[in-house]
Amino acid sequence: MKFSKQLQKIMQHFGLSTTELAEKILVPKATISHLISERNKPSLEFIMKLHTTFPTLNLEWLIYEKEPFLITDIYQNQTEKDQTETTVLNEILEVKTMNEIEKEDQIKIESEESESKNINQNITENQENILSFQSKEIDCIVIFYNDGSFKKYNP
């Protein structure tokens, strides 16, 4: 695309006439006319004035004709890309988190089952101890005092 077409696109986008553009960027009207008619090529100073006056213009588009035309389009495309990447990352993290929660739940269930087995085993052992204790007769009872003395009782 020739610079004359780029300049016309800028004027159309911002709704400016040749005179209005010249006044805005502080150049003679003839400069704009010569650029549009392709009599002259833009100077670096002219491009800098355009970019300073219209900071949303993509400088790479002005110099190299590299799309997009406006910087806001670059940010919008980057923002959309970032949002897509963020969404994908969030989905991955959500799946990972769900897997971790499932693993934690499974570990908790296994721990509770193990604890339940231990409790049942202890109850069974205590019942056996109580039954074996009940079948025996007491021979004597000894009480120890904190002063080192003791007393023995025989039934």
Q: Is the pLDDT of residue 57 over 70?
A: yes
pLDDT of residue 130: 60
**46 found inside a domain:** yes
**23 found inside a domain:** yes
77 and 103 housed in the same domain:
yes
64 and 78 housed in the same domain:
no
User: Is there a contact between 14 and 25 (Cβ–Cβ < 8 Å)?
Assistant: no
Measured CA to CA, the distance from residue 50 to residue 62 in angstroms comes to: 9
Q: What is the pLDDT of residues 8-19, one digit of tens each?
A: 999 999 999 999
65 and 15 housed in the same domain:
yes
**43 found inside a domain:** yes
Q: What is the CATH number of the domain that holds 31?
A: 1.10.260.40
Higher pLDDT, 120 or 37: 37
Domain that includes residue 99, residue range:
71-110
Q: Is the pLDDT of residue 135 over 80?
A: no
**127 found inside a domain:** no
Q: Is the pLDDT of residue 70 over 80?
A: yes
11 and 63 housed in the same domain:
yes
12 and 45 housed in the same domain:
yes
76 and 106 housed in the same domain:
yes
83 and 65 housed in the same domain:
no
Q: Is the pLDDT of residue 58 over 80?
A: yes
Indicate whether this model's pTM tops 0.75. Answer: no
pLDDT of residue 133: 55
pLDDT of residue 65: 85
For the chain, what is the domain count? 2
